[in-house]
Amino acid sequence: MSDGIGGRILALRTGKGLTQRDLAEPNYTAAYVSSVENGHRVPSNDALAHFANRLSVDVTQLTTGRHPGDALSIEIQLIEEQQPPLWYEHRAADPAEPPVRRATAEVVLGRRALKTATPDDAAAHFERARRLIPSTLAHLRTPAVVGLALCARLQGDPGYAAYLLTDLRDELHRAGLPDPVSVLAIHAVLALCQSDLGEDAGVAAETALALAGPGAGVVEAQLATARTLAASNHLPEARAALVAASGASLESWLADEIAGAQRIRARRRLSAGDLAGALADLTAARRRSTGPAALDALVDLAEVHRALGDPATARALLAEADRSSGVDGPSDATGPSDATGPSSVDGLSGVTGPSGVTGPSGGFHSGEPGRRPLGTDRPDGGGSAVDVRRARAHRVHALLSQDAGDLDAAEQHLRAAITIHRRTGPRRELAQLSLDLADLLTAMRRPDDALSVLADGLTAVDSHAG
């Protein structure tokens, strides 16, 4: 009896020095209070609200025995993601926990599985989280669905990932739940999936970036605010800060994907001749991400600086990307003249650029279809993000070599990039590089070699079909 609602009401009443009459008035009688405390009657919701108000506690404390501050403490720990795995496993499996809290624990476990490159385990956690959230709260399923999409992309299926994201996006629209954090998360990952598929990712990238915040430090600040407010018993305000922290946590988790959206917009801006806009986006992407997208941005920045007529900075950025990747850089293929000679902003020393147009933006595609997910290695022997990044770096080195008039070094870099892409399999990039090399060989008055490169390239592209 002492563990039930009546026992809790009795303990709180006597602890505050109230009589049964004090607690009952003006809506109830002392006899009613006595029957509730003795377990003879179950109080109605109205009575519970009355008792909670008179006792200066939350109704939840009367019905469960838990102080609302205890629940806030658990939710803060869920967002911090600093507890050992067993702590989250216990929360996820405990039927006494609210479904949303159990789902949050499953999402944390899924994120940890993704960090250890175990997408099957991660997907299982994300799926359990998705099923725990009621259909009427579709926006709360966003972390789980985005996690499932990341798993699908990691496993080489960006098409299914895009389906999951657009399905959730449409569901949120139908339900009238345009939650900004959900919209941001969905479109940041969707932009990368569309880029993988060779589709126009511009709208998705712009939608995500319009909602993206500053990134660093927001989660910690909101959690500190929630703790302070909870300690002073300002629980509604503390919960509002916790909701903000939860949204910032999702955005922080997707920092690499948001940086990827910034890179997509940068490519579009450079293609349109907006070098300043491309430079701003790539600088922001490099600052936001501490993962693979930051290294990819270095290679992109190198191409922008090459277009700006600053080959020294371009080569320095490529060297930094090599060092940060922990691999021998593409500069191994360069000749001694790669570091000399003027940069040509107006053209590529008479050699047609990879997009078929001479000029500084040659080679900077509006998308990167077929790329493997950033920062992943394929256990089946497929290409890794490091491989793709090195191939792109070789390509920028080739542009720099052409600008400097060293066509032999440019040829070496393009052949190195093609060799990598023969293994990794992005078909459009492999085809484009073959065209680039054929154009270069033609400019070098080697038409037979150019035809051979085109034939070999067509065979290689066909071998990657499907």
Domain assignment of residue 274, yes or no: no
Lookup: tokens for 255:
């920092």
Give CA–CA dist 223/76, Å, rounded.
Answer: 7
Domain identity same for 227 and 375: no
Ramachandran class of 310: left when φ > 0, alpha when ψ lies in -120 to 50, beta otherwise: beta
Give CA–CA dist 315/437, Å, rounded.
Answer: 21
Give CA–CA dist 201/266, Å, rounded.
Answer: 12
**Computed over its alpha carbons, how large is the radius of gyration of the chain?**
29
CATH code for position 200: 1.25.40.10
Sequence-distant (6+) residues with CB within 8 A of 167 are none
Please tell me the number of Cα atoms within 13 Å of 276 on its side-chain side.
Answer: 0
Domain containing residue 383:
287-463
Domain identity same for 336 and 408: yes
Nearest to 440 by CA among 397, 391, 399, 404: 399
CATH code for position 9: 1.10.260.40
Domain identity same for 58 and 78: no
Q: Which residues of 135-173 are buried (b: 16+ CB within 10 A; e: fewer)?
A: eeebbbbbbbbbbbbbbbbbbbebebbbebbbebbeebe
End-to-end CA distance of the chain: 68
Domain identity same for 221 and 336: no
The per-residue pLDDT for range 326-363, each reduced to its tens digit, is 755 554 444 333 333 333 322 223 333 333 333 333 33
Residues in the chain with pLDDT values less than 50: 1-2, 331-382
Domain identity same for 85 and 47: no
Domain identity same for 198 and 74: yes
The per-residue pLDDT for range 224-251, each reduced to its tens digit, is 999 999 888 888 899 899 999 999 999 9
Lookup: tokens for 406:
């060293």
Q: What is the pLDDT of residue 265?
A: 97
Q: What pTM did the predictor assign?
A: 0.76
Domain identity same for 222 and 108: yes
The per-residue pLDDT for range 80-94, each reduced to its tens digit, is 999 999 999 999 999
Residue recorded with tokens 């079909």? 465
Nearest to 382 by CA among 391, 392, 372: 372
The per-residue pLDDT for range 353-403, each reduced to its tens digit, is 333 333 333 333 333 333 333 334 333 333 567 888 899 999 999 999 999
Q: How far is CA 309 from the centre of its chain?
A: 33
CB atoms within 10 A of CB 54: 20
Query: What total of structural domains would you count in the chain?
Result: 3
Give CA–CA dist 421/456, Å, rounded.
Answer: 13
Give CA–CA dist 153/142, Å, rounded.
Answer: 16
CA distances in angstroms from 466 to 425, 426, 427, 430, listed in the order given: 10, 11, 10, 15
Q: Is the peptide bond before 26 cis (omega within 30 degrees of 0)?
A: yes
What's 333's DSSP letter? G
Give CA–CA dist 30/20, Å, rounded.
Answer: 5
Lookup: tokens for 144:
């789980």
